Chain A
C-alpha cells in the first residue's frame, strides 16, 4: 500500500487477554515508532526500531508490553494480560531513513492507529 497500515482498526479485549497489534510500514522504511494515545491526550512514545534492532524501549509502560520487528519490516506490538488502563489508540509511524536529528521527524508517516478497548 501507499501508506503505513495498521491492523486491526479496532480491537476489543477482555481484561486479562493478550493482544497483538500489527504495523505494516511503507516498504523500505528503516525507522519505525510505536506511540500510545489515550483518550483526550497526545500520543506518547513507546518504542523505536531501526530496521530489526529495537534501539529504544524506554516508553513501554510495563513488562506486559513487548514489541518486535524480526525482519526489519512488519512490526507487532504485543500486550499481555491487558488491563483497562491499556485502552488507547496505538499509533505506528515509519520513515525511509534513520532519524539523526530532531528535525528529521518531519519525514515520519503515521498510520491511522489501532483503537484498543479493554473491558
Chain B
C-alpha cells in the first residue's frame, strides 16, 4: 500500500536558520505529492504540491522537489521565521486517473519550533 515517512520531531531551529524536513514515500507509479501545514488551533492548509517527477513546488519561501529516483519530497526553506512554527505534514494521493477521491495518505507530521 501507499505510505509516507517523514522525520521525527520536534525540530528546533533558531530564526534565519536553514530548514530541511525529510519525506520519503512508497507508492506505485507517479503519485501526487503535497506538503500541508497546521498552525496551532487551525485547520490543515496546503503549503505546496508537485504532480510529476522533477517538479518543484514552492510557496512562502518553502520548496520541495519531486524526486522519483529517491522517492523523496524533502521540504526546505532558506531562512525560517518564528511565524513558521507549526506542524508540517507530507502527503500523497494515488496516481491519476481516479486518485482524487481516494483520499490523502499522510506522514506522521513534524513539529517545527523556531526560536527568536
| Interface set of A (CB-CB < 8 Å, partner B) | 3-4, 31, 33, 35, 40-45, 48, 50, 55-56, 59, 91, 93, 98-106, 108-113
Secondary structure at chain A's binding surface: helix, strand, loop or mixed? mixed
State which size class the interface on B falls in. 20 to 34
Question: Other CB < 8 Å A-B pairs besides A99-B101, A101-B98, 5 of them?
Answer: A4-B43, A45-B102, A91-B43, A102-B94, A106-B34
Q: Which of B90-104 contact A (CB under 8 A)?
A: 91-104
Q: Contacting A56 at CB < 8 Å: which of B32, B102, B108? A: B102
| Interface set of B (CB-CB < 8 Å, partner A) | 4, 31-32, 34, 41-46, 49, 51, 89, 91-109
A105 touches B108 (CB 8 A): no
B93 touches A103 (CB 8 A): yes
- Within the complex, the shortest CB–CB distance from A1 to chain B, in Å, comes to 12
Q: What are 29 A-B pairs at a CB distance below 8 A?
A: A4-B43, A31-B101, A42-B106, A42-B107, A42-B108, A43-B44, A43-B89, A50-B101, A55-B101, A56-B101, A56-B102, A56-B103, A100-B96, A101-B32, A101-B97, A101-B98, A102-B31, A102-B92, A102-B99, A102-B100, A102-B102, A103-B93, A103-B96, A105-B32, A105-B104, A106-B34, A108-B46, A109-B43, A110-B44
